[in-house]
Structure 1
Amino acid sequence: MKITSISIRNHSRISDCTLDVRNNLILVGANGSGKSSILRCIDLALGKTTQQLYYSIDNSDFEDEEQPFVVEVRLEELSEDELSFFPDDYDALDNSLTVRMEATLDKDDLTIRHTFQKAPARTI
């Protein structure tokens, strides 16, 4: 499998960013420019269960606490073994899947939705 797109919205260090990934992703920038934040957001979407996310996300992750903090990662070229984890969620036509992590705050109550959805059709 490979990551083909990463979208981050309302993160404390990255307010709104979409990265299209071709064959490789190389993050270069000055200290404090958000390289580690991008990697952390990918880990939040792909590397944690919903339960683990409740221990990993807090108020300091939000740029604006009244808006949702969202990370979407589009995966393509999943192997048959990888697809078996998402039997109803992947798009069989283009062998893709979008993983979405959305965190919202209501006062200090954190709500997290971790979903897997068919990737939207690409516009050409």
Structure 2
Amino acid sequence: MITPIFRIFDLEKTLSFYIKYLGFNIDWKHQYAENMPLYFQVSLHDAILHLSEHHGDSSPGSAIRIKIKDLKSFHSSLLKKEYPYSNPAIEKTPWDTIELTVVDPFSNRITFYEEIG
């Protein structure tokens, strides 16, 4: 299994986007001391991400793809949340997928996709 690491800079924005909006769960957190950077794991279905405040743990502006079942229902749940910084649409691709791309507050791009062919 591959676990991507996304660089984050603001815990409040991170929680608002990943937990409240996208519906990821926090699996665990690690912090050496209260004033040290936070490192934690989030998951949604089979997808696992590591989010890090540590300097040098990835660069903002990364991109990943996550395969998901029932993308249309997931899209519908996002629209109901009325997150003010994102209004993603589903796109059909020439390679027989439907895709929905969101960008986190730190310019990391996540494309959720479902194979339709």
**Taking structure 2 as the reference length, what is the TM-score of the superposition?**
0.29
**Taking structure 1 as the reference length, what is the TM-score of the superposition?**
0.28
